[in-house]
Amino acid sequence: MQTLDEREALEAMGHFLQAYYDRGHHKDSDLPLVIQSIEILSDGITADPAAWDDWLDAVRKVKEPKGQ
């Protein structure tokens, strides 16, 4: 298994969601907005800066020891 840092994982999720959307699994969803929000721009930040903070919070929740 490969290990990704937080930025690489966010980029991978973006690619995953785009492929999911492209296959037609969206039916009136806000998925395009989510994909646009997490896009990492040329200046290195996400299109929606709050998306990066949300992502880091999600990573911390996953990495927390269970039962805390």
Which residues, 6 or more positions from 62, have their beta carbon under 8 angstroms from its beta carbon?
none
Q: Where are the domains of the chain?
A: 28-62
Full-model pTM: 0.69
Q: Tell me what pLDDT residue 63 has.
A: 81
pLDDT tens-digit profile of 1-57?
788 899 999 999 989 888 878 877 666 778 888 889 899 999 999 999 999 999 998
Q: Tell me what pLDDT residue 26 has.
A: 67
CB count, 10 Å around CB of 61? 8
Reported confidence tier of residue 67, pLDDT bands at 50, 70, 90: low
The answer, yes or no, to whether residue 68 has pLDDT greater than 70, is no
Which residues, 6 or more positions from 10, have their beta carbon under 8 angstroms from its beta carbon?
38, 40, 46, 52, 55
